[in-house]
Structure 1
Amino acid sequence: MPWRTPYSICSPTCCHLLAIVLTTTVAPRAEARTWVVAVAHAQADDAGPGTEEQPFRTIGPAALAAQPGDTILVHPGLYRQRVVPACGGDKDKPIVYLSAQRGQAVIKGSDLFAPKWERAEGPEPVFRGVLDPAVFQGENPFHRGISINGSDTSKQVRPAQGELEDVLGEVFVESQPYTQVVRLADLRKQERSWLVPEDGKSILVHFPKSREPSRCLVEITTRNRIFAPLRRGLGHIHVKGFVFEHCANQGPFPQGGAVSVRSGHDWMIEGNTIRFAATIGLDCGSETWDGKALTDTAPEEQRIMIGGRHLIRDNDVTDNGLCGIAGWNHSGTKIVGNRVERNNRRKFPHGRGGWEEWAGIKLHAANALIQGNVVRDNQAFGIWIDNGYGDARIDGNLVLRNRLAGIFLELGHHPGYPCRVTNNVVGGTTGEGFYGGFGIYTHDASDVVVAHNLIFDNAGFGVLMRTITDRQASGKRVETSRNQILNNLFVNNAGGLMSLPYPNGRSQGLTSDNNVFWSDAAAGQAPFAINCYQDDIKLRDVAEELRRRLKQAGEADQQLPVVDAWAKNPRLTLDNWRLLLERDQGSQERRMMVRCDDRSLPASLTLTLDAAIAKVPCTRVEGLSADFRGQALPPSRQLPGPFQGLQTGENRIVLDAGAAP
């Protein structure tokens, strides 16, 4: 496929400049310069010099002209365009894209939609607006379906006959997303909804009764990226202080965020707002293993190209259709101090397309540092690293009210290079089906350390680890082995405290100790559980071993569990957990209370502790030197949980994470 510039990415002036940049070599300048962009300036002109007195009107000319060390200063205003960096910077001379006032330069992947509105038949205020094909920057997203598995990224779903499918495009009215429906009956019932009819030539919108459509600000997504190079692998680009919103970007794979590093390296993405993308807000990885799937890419770049070492800091990544931040196969990236909220906004259902790719933060094959983030209210996993996580650190994050699991590690085998999940506050997770709302969850994952976390008020188990497939990781059949669960606080997790496999050929060397457990619930099911999915053992055999050990400990025959009944519900008290598995010998059940108030940030936490918690011994965790707040761990007598220096009774803690890189 020839490399082509997507239609109308830039103005005609920018396209002319792009041709020059791609076919000539520009001699480096001795001094860096600042290119100025100001859409509202009276003298703004894309053919001008790009100075404060005569700035560019759009960002495109500056992006084409900038060389290492240059800054592109963008003044407040609305910029409806895709920004396409033509080249990267150098280690000591990055190219900096800077909003002159944080949050005041807004770059959108949408355009105004102001058709001649015609009222549809019926009593409801449903209006029809005809789509103009000329407005779309490439393919029409109101004709294309949504893919979350890479197999049908070009599937056309309009025009259509029979049952309709969702389209990729979106409609915003007065800056708020309206809800897409695919049945006319649902459109008539639901105010603030919209539908693309079978012929694909128009959009039907159900406006509120009090609104006159011609007086509403209506926008439709027309671009598949907002800030993304055409060339892959560019490095040392800094992007600071912008608002990026509205994008008709297709789901993975390839991963293509509204803001995308395009397999680049050493980017800094700081202080931005990235919201309302159709699928991924920001992608920070290497896009895909299948280079031929990368359209609008030079043939010589249609190959595996591994990037990384990005710093993603202090951004608001919210309300994106699928994922907030995604990254396939990259190393050394730091994701610190961000707010990642309300992603999977489009509520893609479990297993759509056979793949699961939704999360606040979803990384693959990444030894990333994920630290000090607020990850909350995502209709998806909070933080998820899949298919390789050796040496990754998930530390000091506030992970609240996500769906399925708060923190999820999947598919890994990293002896000597574990992923460390430490100092996190994980609570309020809700569940659905197979994913029952777990605080910290792993499957097919070995070499994970879960230590010094506060895990509370989750719908499922506080920690659940299991082996569910026969896949390969690092050339070895997956297991749940060598995981450690140490020095955590478990409070009021409705499904139970912990569920782990019984030792067998698929699960060896699990350690759990020096945790503190509490539940206010009335006595019901025992709080610990044995799980068995793809393990080399049967639960009936585990039940027989439990009976044997209980009898050896002096339990009366009539008190022994019935084998078949226990195998159907393999729950254990703390005493029997210790007896059967020889785990949690130093752990204790102690009264605790947790209240978290995150109505404003930084959030606050009230943690009430029993005096005896200070006497719980803690296991030293290799590589962990500070707590949630960045305070150094004491050389002796560490406290379980993410906070040191607590007192008996009520402690009020401001959840402002420690200094991040």
Structure 2
Amino acid sequence: MKKDEVFMPDGTSFKFWDDTTEYKKIYHVNCNHPKASDDNPGTEDLPFATINQSAKILRPGEKVIVHGGVYRECVRPICGGESPDKMIAYEAMPNEEVIVKGSQIWETDFKLSKDWNFRHLPQGAKIWTGELPEEWFIGYNPFMTQNFSSEYTTFTRDWTDAEINVFMLKRGMVFVDGRPLKQVFRPYDLVNTEGAFWVEDPGLAIHFRLWGDEDPSGKTIEVTTKEQVFAPAKQFLGYIRVSGFHFEHCADGIPVPQRAMVSARRGHHWIIENNTIKWANSCGIDVGNETWHRPTITDKECTGGHIIRKNHVSNCGICGIAAVGNNANTIVQDNIVEWIGDKNIERIWETGGLKFHTCDTVLIKGNVFRHIRNAPGLWLDYLNKNCRITGNVFADIESINGAIYLEVNHAPNLVDNNILWDIRGTRSERGYGVNVDTNEECVVAHNFFGKIRDWYAVSVNLNQRSRIVGGRVGLCRLNKVFNNVFFECPKRIMLSRIADNQSDGNLFDQRNNATSLCVESTENLLDLSAWQRYYGLDKNGTQARIEANFDPETLEFSYNYEGEMPKCCPVPELYGIKSESPGPYEIKLK
């Protein structure tokens, strides 16, 4: 096995690639340069003023270096590269902060709002109002456009008013000194809510109340005006690299379609690396087919192949990284994805730190998914095959579907060497560690499950036993749960079908033995002894006194045990790698 070689569940080595272009021409953008102008030639001495000017002229084998400053624009590439050695690159100048925002600074004559019935304002409460410039919204006004997508009319039948109201809210966002105001549904909702705003139809006036009922004078107020911040003018562009930027503030809608802050627009072979992406109304990054209503791209040279690495994605209302198909041979590596899901509408079923559909040979490695609410950490949605989720951290997640959700897959997938810590459910009997929902040939091996308190750490279930995808129903067969460690997990493993599924070599915390294991129905609650004796499961599994601690911020992990160590089972899907100890053997933490 070569250094850095990674095997996929089918035994093939993941095909890594990278930018090998020797750039023949380099343009410069510097909005703070005294001679900056889009009429310039784009040299370092005579730079462009906007990134979009460079996007108009960049051709394969060329790149632009963007110097420090704040650029309020949506960058629209019109040309892609041709190959790994003939790419187009957008680079932030090293050691300079390059911020690209889909917002404008709102400076107007703010007045106290008096023309609306706010009912009973508390003494001293102040609601301010101001008008937005019409010229900011040529072609798109997020303060007039609702979050609502007609795709979800069937889902809303049993929704609460609070969930429906989120759909009816506008897409626009307001920031005061960098801090977001909360949008409310009715004008009188401002009475009981500081730090909030309400949009007056037709989206050209905003009423807002600041924290502590402060005066807006002297504050920097920004409003989102762009749907996206980096997205090509044309679809299907390939071989584009985007490196080192701070992308902030976009007013994208709730998917589908997925039209994220940074979008490949159905393109292929993008490298999105070392960026900070935050404060999207909905999604941070999308690299898929945008929606399942578009034709599937079948040309393998023009689909997927993306590299998404070392980005920090945060504060996105619905999803951090998304892809409806068009994601084959993609790697998502060494990213931090956190504080996702503040829209609180998980039941649109398109949420997640990462949400991919119909993956083929996707490697998700070395990422941190933490502080996620109303969304699973990672969700692979139906007919995924040959995917590997390895060496990741999932911590402090509150969700119906838990940390990792694998939904209705008929082919092998592998979940190994991950740490899952402090996963909680937002509904009764929910909040899984790994939810293996109506899958075949899924392997969950050498993971550490800590403090999965509300539901099963590993659930191999038939929750969607009647759903037909790929021409048939799922069978819940040939799944394996091998060589994991379970610490403070009152519900450890569920196997909804005994036939053909295996569990062995696992190490269990002896403090959570009673009724911690389950077979075939939620009433069949077992301890380890019955699990072993009557069902032949975990013949090599043991219980021990386990102590463990994990800090999601510092990523410091400590773990020890007193007692018998289980005999680990061979995991053929790991192709030659053997470990004598349960739990992760590859993950590298501080």
Q: TM-score, normalised by structure 1?
A: 0.78
Listed as ranges, the matches of 1:83-232 within 5 Å are 83-91=75-83, 92-101=85-94, 104-121=97-114, 122=121, 123-147=124-148, 150=151, 165-197=168-200, 200-209=203-212, 211-232=214-235
Partner of 1:343: 340
Amino acid across the alignment from 1:363: F
Separation (CA, whole Å) in 1 of partners of 2:254 and 2:95 = 29
Partner of 1:284: 287
The SS at the match of 1:512 is strand
The CA RMSD measured in Å over matched residues stands at 2.4
Partner of 1:619: 569
Partner of 1:247: 250
Separation (CA, whole Å) in 1 of partners of 2:181 and 2:96 = 23
Larger Rg: 1
Show CA shifts across 1:416-450 (max 9, x none): xx110000000101102266211111212222100
More contact order relative to length (CA 8 Å, sep ≥ 6): 2
Partner of 1:399: 394
Separation (CA, whole Å) in 2 of partners of 1:609 and 1:148 = 50
Instruction: Confirm or deny: 8 A CA contact 1:138 1:223 kept in the other structure.
Output: no
Show CA shifts across 1:48-79 (max 9, x none): 10001100000111111011111110000000
The SS at the match of 2:492 is strand
Partner residue of 1:502 out of 497, 503, 506: 497
Partner of 1:610: 562
Where do 5+ consecutive residues of structure 2 fail to align? 1-21, 115-120, 154-164
C-alpha deviation, 1:220, in angstroms: 0.9
Partner of 1:48: 40
C-alpha deviation, 1:112, in angstroms: 1.2
Separation (CA, whole Å) in 1 of partners of 2:467 and 2:48 = 54
Question: Structure 1 residues 148, 455: closer, same or farther in 2, change over 3 A?
Answer: farther
C-alpha deviation, 1:477, in angstroms: 1.1
Identity, in percent, stands at: 31
Partner of 1:412: 409
Question: Structure 1 residues 79, 606: closer, same or farther in 2, change over 3 A?
Answer: same
1:571 maps onto 2:525 in alignment = yes
Question: Structure 1 residues 306, 181: closer, same or farther in 2, change over 3 A?
Answer: farther
Instruction: Confirm or deny: 8 A CA contact 1:37 1:73 kept in the other structure.
Output: yes
Listed as ranges, the matches of 1:313-328 within 5 Å are 313-328=309-324
The SS at the match of 2:171 is coil
Partner of 1:372: 366
Where do 5+ consecutive residues of structure 1 fail to align? 1-29, 153-162, 295-300, 533-567, 627-632, 645-652, 657-661
Question: Structure 1 residues 358, 434: closer, same or farther in 2, change over 3 A?
Answer: farther
Instruction: Confirm or deny: 8 A CA contact 1:286 1:305 kept in the other structure.
Output: no
Instruction: Confirm or deny: 8 A CA contact 1:492 1:519 kept in the other structure.
Output: no
Amino acid across the alignment from 1:390: K
C-alpha deviation, 1:33, in angstroms: 0.6
Instruction: Confirm or deny: 8 A CA contact 2:543 2:563 kept in the other structure.
Output: no
1:481 maps onto 2:508 in alignment = no
Show CA shifts across 1:531-579 (max 9, x none): 54xxxxxxxxxxxxxxxxxxxxxxxxxxxxxxxxxxx732111122223
Partner residue of 2:518 out of 517, 529, 532: 529
Partner of 2:589: 655
Amino acid across the alignment from 1:139: Y
Structure 1 runs (4+) deviating above 4 angstroms are 303-306
The SS at the match of 1:252 is coil
Question: Structure 1 residues 607, 149: closer, same or farther in 2, change over 3 A?
Answer: farther
Amino acid across the alignment from 2:550: C
Instruction: Confirm or deny: 8 A CA contact 1:171 1:178 kept in the other structure.
Output: yes
The SS at the match of 1:61 is helix
1:57 maps onto 2:49 in alignment = yes
The SS at the match of 1:401 is strand
Question: Structure 1 residues 448, 170: closer, same or farther in 2, change over 3 A?
Answer: same
The SS at the match of 2:109 is coil
How many aligned residue pairs are there?
Answer: 540
Show CA shifts across 1:437-483 (max 9, x none): 11111212222100000011012211112112311232121221111
Partner of 1:360: 353
Partner of 2:159: none
